[in-house]
């Protein structure tokens, strides 16, 4: 589907991702961490003797299939959910997975952690946005730069990334397993969706990508090492994020330059500042077109 503008993309986001959930693919990432693909946004699962921790919960419709996949990994209770941001393809299954994830020994309710702005946006939707059922809201918010917890013998760091994909982004680092779940700050082979209507910005996004690179450590020949679960798409390592950070930074600099020359939005788009990346990141049917990406940068930088 082609997205004419970022504003339209944001408005259409929810219906577009309501497509029938496909089958769930489960991948062992490393250590105690698994990733589930195909339920909307990617879902990261940490398991162990204390139960289950989820990063994001996919689409509401996908919850039964996601739960079946989680149960193949662990019979334990879902004790924690961490939402990387507010979008419904990452939070839609909150209530259902918490409910289905309870056990007689651990009836819950599980802690649903998110940055404070996620709660604010869910409880007070902008005009024209659908209301989010209260059962899907986080019940454990944070408003500090980071939050940490210890679960299944592992330190888990939740770090807030200000004004990047949205204004409520968190990345989650499993220190022992050496896995980072980063939500939609990073989507390999797709231009980023900078959700301006929900407080996103290109400079925040680049800062977030740099934060991921600060935490991740590659293994030999710059491959492997810390594994990165993106919000959508395949499992990645640091090298994939380096390439992505460079792309976003270069296109941002080109747009900034055109703005300095006094170009209008139409002139900036006509200059095609992302031209040499479009075949890789804006293939036919990509969620964010080259024009939408450039427009989001322009609007994000224009004073």
Shortest distance in whole angstroms from residue 201 CB to Zn ion: 14
Nearer to Zn ion, 51 or 58 (CB): 58
Shortest distance in whole angstroms from residue 88 CB to Zn ion: 9
Nearer to Zn ion, 86 or 98 (CB): 86
Question: How far is residue 162 from each of residues 55, 85, 267, 285, 299, measured CA to CA in Å?
Answer: 18, 11, 30, 29, 17
Half-sphere exposure of 298 (CA within 13 A, CB side): 24
Quick one: which segment of 48-56, 80-88, 265-273, 287-295 binds Zn ion (CB under 5 A)?
80-88
- Decide: 95 and 102 in contact? Cβ < 8 Å: no
Total of residues contacting Zn ion (CB under 5 A): 2
Shortest distance in whole angstroms from residue 265 CB to Zn ion: 24
Nearer to Zn ion, 90 or 147 (CB): 90
Contact between 245 and Zn ion (CB under 5 A)?
no
Closest CA to 199 of 288, 116, 90: 116
Closest CA to 182 of 215, 155, 153: 215
Exactly one of 61, 154, 167, 184 binds Zn ion (CB under 5 A); that residue is: 184
Query: What span, in angstroms and rounded, lies between the C-alpha atoms of 97 and 271?
Result: 46
Nearer to Zn ion, 154 or 184 (CB): 184
Nearer to Zn ion, 164 or 258 (CB): 164
Contact between 167 and Zn ion (CB under 5 A)?
no
Query: What span, in angstroms and rounded, lies between the C-alpha atoms of 290 and 281?
Result: 8
Residues in 82-101 at the binding interface with Zn ion, rule: CB under 5 A: 87
Neighbours of 8 (CB within 10 A): 12
The residues binding Zn ion (CB under 5 A) are 87, 184
């Amino acid at each position: 589907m082609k997205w004419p503008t970022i504003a339209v993309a944001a408005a259409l986001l929810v219906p577009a991702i309501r497509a029938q959930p496909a089958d769930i693919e489960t991948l062992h990432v490393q250590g105690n961490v698994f990733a589930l693909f195909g339920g909307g946004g990617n879902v990261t699962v940490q398991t162990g003797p204390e139960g289950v921790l989820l990063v994001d919960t996919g689409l509401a419709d996908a919850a039964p299939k996601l739960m079946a996949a989680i149960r193949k990994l662990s019979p334990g209770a879902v004790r924690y959910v961490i939402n990387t941001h507010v979008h419904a393809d990452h939070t839609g299954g909150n209530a259902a997975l918490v409910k289905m994830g309870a056990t007689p020994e651990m009836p819950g309710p599980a802690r649903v952690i998110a940055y404070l702005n996620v709660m604010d946006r869910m409880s007070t939707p902008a005009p024209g946005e659908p209301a989010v059922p209260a059962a899907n809201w986080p019940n454990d918010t944070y408003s500090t730069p980071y939050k940490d917890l210890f679960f299944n013998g592992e330190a888990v760091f939740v770090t807030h990334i200000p004004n990047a994909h949205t204004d409520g982004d968190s990345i989650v680092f499993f220190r022992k397993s050496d896995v980072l779940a980063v939500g939609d700050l990073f989507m390999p082979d797709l231009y980023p969706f900078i959700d301006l209507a929900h407080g996103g910005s290109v400079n925040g996004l680049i800062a977030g990508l740099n934060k991921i690179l600060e935490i991740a450590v590659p293994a030999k020949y710059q491959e492997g090492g810390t594994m990165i679960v993106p919000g959508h798409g395949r499992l990645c390592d640091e090298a994939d994020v380096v390439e992505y950070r460079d792309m976003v930074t270069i296109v941002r600099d080109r747009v900034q330059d055109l703005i300095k020359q006094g170009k209008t939005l139409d002139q900036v788009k006509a200059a095609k500042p992302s031209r040499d990346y479009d075949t890789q990141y804006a293939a036919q049917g990509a969620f964010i077109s080259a024009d939408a990406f450039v427009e989001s940068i322009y609007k994000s930088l224009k004073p």
